[in-house]
Amino acid sequence: MSETHGMFGTSGSGDTSGFGGLVRSAANIGSSERPYGSYFDEVADELERAYPEFSDAIEKVVVDRGELTLHVKREKLFDTAKKLRDTESLRFEICLGVNGVHYPEDKNRELHAVYPLLSMTHNRRIRLEVSVPDSDPHLPSLVEVWAGNNWHERETWDMFGIIFDGHPGLTRILMPDDWPGHPQRKDYPLGGIPIEYKGATVPAPSERRSYQ
């Protein structure tokens, strides 16, 4: 159990959100043991039968707060995604996008990508999660598996700097093309920067009204 202070990693930025005063306990959740409960055991069993490399592809399986997350090695992400989509007994036809997360204290695993999956056929939900080092932030694009991930991968690149290899057009989607840095990383400065969103200028937090 570790303790973190604030929502972001910078200070003295003029942030008026109140996030700087947060103190949170962060637990490092290990791999869950069988039985997982609910339909989670069946999902794991079916994936293992369909994908002989399952044990090599999955770093850990976590069941927490009634949700199942498969932590996948990045070199196995594409193959795992295809098996989850195409195997009749799994049929996770829908990926609800990809969410970036930045954990600066997670050495050599600073950037995480999280993929919420939905099976309309079997009415089931799971998550995939994969981590990459800040020094090598590459992941295979899953646009070929779930075409709807196109804009989500662009946003995750824009906001967090994760590079999706094989994406058909990995360009910024919110920030101007020449914008330096990735604004949702925890080491990104919060104030003093006038932000232009594709032609519309929003004042920096330090220039807005303070509610103190």
pLDDT digits (tens, 9 = 90+) for 134-172: 999 999 999 999 999 999 999 999 999 999 999 999 999
SS (H, E, C) the chain: CEEEECCCCCCCCCCCCCHHHCEEEECCCCCCCCCCCCCHHHHHHHHHHHCCCHHHHEEEEEEECCEEEEEECHHHHHHHHHHHHHCCCCCCCEECCCEEEECCCCCCCCEEEEEEEEECCCCEEEEEEEEECCCCCEEECCCCCCCCHHHHHHHHHHHHCCEEECCCCCCCCCCCCCCCCCCCCCCCCCCCCCEEECCEEECCHHHCCCCC
pLDDT in tens, 7-16: 655 555 555 5
Query: Which is nearest to 161 in space by CA: 131, 183, 144, 193?
Result: 183
Kindly indicate the confidence band of residue 211, based on its pLDDT and cuts at 50, 70 and 90: very low
* Averaged pLDDT score across all residues of the chain: 87
Unique residue bearing structure tokens 């906001």: 159
pTM score: 0.81
pLDDT in tens, 54-64: 989 999 999 99
Average pLDDT over residues 168-184: 90
Average pLDDT over residues 30-50: 92
Domain ranges in the chain are: 36-188
CB of 176 within 8 A of CB of 159? no
Kindly indicate the confidence band of residue 185, based on its pLDDT and cuts at 50, 70 and 90: very high
How many percent of the chain have pLDDT more than 70? 75
What pLDDT is recorded for position 30?
A: 77
**What is the C-alpha to C-alpha distance for residues 45 and 63, in angstroms, rounded to an integer?**
15
For residue 188, pLDDT over 70 is answered with yes
**What is the C-alpha to C-alpha distance for residues 101 and 111, in angstroms, rounded to an integer?**
6
Structure tokens at 212: 């103190």
125 - beta bridge partners? 118
Q: How far is CA 52 from the centre of its chain?
A: 26
Query: Which is nearest to 61 in space by CA: 37, 92, 90, 25?
Result: 37
CATH architecture of 36-188: 2-Layer Sandwich (3.30)
